[in-house]
Structure 1
């Protein structure tokens, strides 16, 4: 995907020089591929996405300006350093992970890649001038407890993961419409990240939970993610957790912001996506894995969740 900005002016934060690990091929092809997946949405707002396996060992370095850097890893692993602050992310059990790094001055970005390592991720770079234009107060860093090279992890919501998926695989649109599509998703993703980090009073119901109840919910969350509860009723799940169904729903929503069955539905869709991408199952087989008797209904739910139809995921195998 090309953009006129690539030839019109330099993009702040793009690698201008790549240093390659000993014995590795030159980095220029990797740099060109990087440029093709980068979009300057507006001055101070830069978007980059990846969905590929590393072709070679590589160490790429560049100088980047002050601002906020948001990394959302949907699947795989990524290893980058901002100055002396190293950020290594890896997805576990199909769950996305994310980090935000603050730079109050220019510093060096280093990305390390190992041959064969897969990564599906989105990076958003926010300049301070852009943040100021959006109404960010001068004391925003103090509110977020961020200093130079401070890195903060944040829990990726289902909505944030869906936005990132839509950025990685946007629909085929005319250049202007695609630019607007990517910018709208990037802005929503920024809102999700900053909203997750901004100080907010915890939900009253979650505040009232005792440590033992939080531990029980964490264990139940892992049980639901494993797939063992897919065919269980709410009563059976509640018995597994040792509470009644009403209490379970109230506590689960207070801590995770969703219902038990909404979470199960999303977990099944995640497993179906992995089966499409990794195992090459048919769309009908993926629909069964996700608990759908209709492949058409599955395709609709899949596209709503990930932004692309399931047949495209299978095409990447």
Structure 2
């Protein structure tokens, strides 16, 4: 079941999250300026096919009432909810999935970058899968008259997906392979993903999906635009003065709205995002610690090491040494 409704229950605003391992479970934590709060624990899936297809999800228990927000690039996103309830939005396009009667799913096209927002509710047990497909992957496979190609032309086009028994079995098999390690496991995971994605995309017809007016409203919408701009220009100078001028705001107004909506300062958001990118590059062995420091905006590697350890709990040398 898919609903679009407003609720009055007040929840905490959160901008960033991170995932850590904790004994036999994993945790999703808020990444706030002065503290970290667990949002969910469970077994999470994160698998990428050369940036063309990404699979996220897993089974988890939500631990606190809160909100997370992130920037999403242009993509076709399939969300399958097998258990629990899930409230999320892309800019002003909101979905509320609930498995009270049966598992449910939805497919959404983002023809341009959007801001993703998701609610966490304490006690909510969630089992879900997200399949995120890059537009070029779709374009290489869909002809001009194909319904899938037509679907990708409209920003925020969306459609509920009917889950049959075979699709549920494919989803459950993917959940069981949450951490593929061997060559055979990875091949099996990718085959299952492609098969499930094909079954979902086959439900699209020329007149089956809905299109939304691309409109935004409220102060949150303006902050969402700012976050999206920051995400696309993290490798450039992002001074408060430049950002304020870009959005025709005063510096004080920019700082106030950002803090009110995301519970983080502008500089704090930028600092954490750059550190997260540096961590990812170090994990992949793409750059040295000194290079990571400069790319993250630190002129002195020692300052980078201190900031990295405060944010992730370990120094960058520990991550780089494993490569």
- Please give the TM-score of this superposition, normalised by the length of structure 1: 0.50
Matched, 1:132 2:139: yes
Cα distance, 1:26 vs structure 2? 2.4
Distance in 2 between residues matched to 1:33 and 1:79, nearest whole Å:
19
- Deviations 1:99-147 (CA, angstroms, capped at 9, x unpaired): 0011000010111110110111110001101112334538646744972
Q: In structure 1, what is the equivalent of residue 54 of structure 2?
A: 46
Higher strand share: 2
Q: In structure 1, what is the equivalent of residue 127 of structure 2?
A: 120
Give SS of 2:36's match: coil
Residue correspondences, number: 183
Cα 1:154/1:182, change in 2 over 3 Å: same
- Deviations 1:235-280 (CA, angstroms, capped at 9, x unpaired): xxxxxxxxxxxxxxxxxxxxxxxxxxxxxxxxxxxxxxxxxxxxxx
Distance in 2 between residues matched to 1:88 and 1:21, nearest whole Å:
25
Q: In structure 2, what is the equivalent of residue 308 of structure 1?
A: none
1:186 is matched with which residue: 175, 193, 200? Answer: 193
Cα distance, 1:184 vs structure 2? 1.0
Q: In structure 1, what is the equivalent of residue 16 of structure 2?
A: 17
Higher helix share: 1
Alignment of 1:158-307 (within 5 A): 158-170=165-177, 174-199=181-206
Cα 1:200/1:66, change in 2 over 3 Å: closer
- Deviations 1:189-240 (CA, angstroms, capped at 9, x unpaired): 1111111123599xxxxxxxxxxxxxxxxxxxxxxxxxxxxxxxxxxxxxxx
Contiguous gaps of at least 5 residues in structure 2: 1-13, 18-28, 209-323
Cα 1:136/1:115, change in 2 over 3 Å: farther
Contiguous gaps of at least 5 residues in structure 1: 1-14, 202-317
Report the aligned-residue RMSD. 3.5
Give SS of 1:37's match: strand
Matched, 1:26 2:36: yes
